[in-house]
Structure 1
Amino acid sequence: MPDAHKVRVLVIDDATLVRLYYRDALERAGYEVDEALNGLEALEKLLVAPADLLIVDVNMPQMDGLAFLKVLRRQDLPVSAIPALISSTEAGPQDKAAARAAGANFYLVKPQTPEILVEYVDLMCGRRT
């Protein structure tokens, strides 16, 4: 990325192992990573420290990923435009359509290799063309 700031990715997933897996892959690729357990925690974190990219699970307690994106996209704040990559085990066309309708920019089906994850994050953050 041309500017000097480290690109910040917020990983929103209730599974500890998934968050650690994403953190490891993304930090090795030079990203700064923060984590949230669900959509409510993610909204709180974004108000304190905006991210450059969101990686969002669909199925989470308290506020799932689709509800989170719908609430986020309705806000009249700069954080409402942060690109969002859905990462879910749900793989049907209806799942992808629901994610797009909620405001997702891209949809990946779990599991992903670290290389695939970083490749898509690089693309979404403008590190690759």
Structure 2
Amino acid sequence: MAHALIIDDSSTVRLYYREVLEADGFTVDEALNGMEGLEKVMMERFDLLLVDVNMPKMDGYTFLQQLRQMPEMQDIPAMMISTESQDVDRARAYASGANVYMAKPVHPVELAAVARLMSGQALERIPA
């Protein structure tokens, strides 16, 4: 069973991602911002990170940049999901260390499929 960490300051968004991922067999933990996210990844091993861009204390770009500076954290797949949807936002996400960039709102079937693919889980069903 894959273990995902959702890093987003919105409780509604975290709940939505949690419900989608848990329904697809993931175990899920949450962080309210990049600072809390860094603390959690240093304490526990995760198979997937879902990272928002705009958060207090530490934004998603800074979180990924700091995460990728740690050799033992460079291989954790990271999905950046944001309302920012310009090409410059996408480019900045990839430059910061994201493996996938998705613009909100994300359809639950797409979210689950990409999460399974990124975490190395077999796709049990093909999205319609």
Shorter-chain-normalised TM-score: which range? over 0.9
1:23 partner letter: R
Aligned counterpart in structure 2 of residue 116 of structure 1, from 110, 116, 119: 110
Task: Give the superposition deviation at 1:80.
Answer: 3.2
Instruction: Tell me the distance in 2 between the aligned counterparts of 1:100 and 1:23.
Output: 24
RMSD: 1.1
TM-score (norm: length of structure 2): 0.92
Confirm whether residue 11 of structure 1 aligns to residue 11 of structure 2.
no
Please list every run of 5 or more consecutive structure 1 residues that lacks an aligned counterpart in the other structure: 1-5
How high is the TM-score relative to the length of structure 1? Answer: 0.91
Instruction: Give CA deviations for 1:63-112 in whole Å, capped at 9, x if unaligned.
Output: 00000000010113x22321100000000000000001000000010001
Q: Among the aligned pairs, what percent are the same residue?
A: 50
In the alignment, is residue 97 of structure 1 matched against residue 94 of structure 2?
no
Letter in 1 for 2:78: A
Structure 1 stretches of at least 4 aligned residues deviating more than 6 Å after TM superposition: none
Measure how far apart 1:126 and its partner are.
2.1
Structure 2 segments unaligned to the other structure (5+ residues)? 124-128
- For residues 26 and 46 of structure 2, what CA distance do their matches in structure 1 show? 11
Code of the aligned partner of 2:37: A
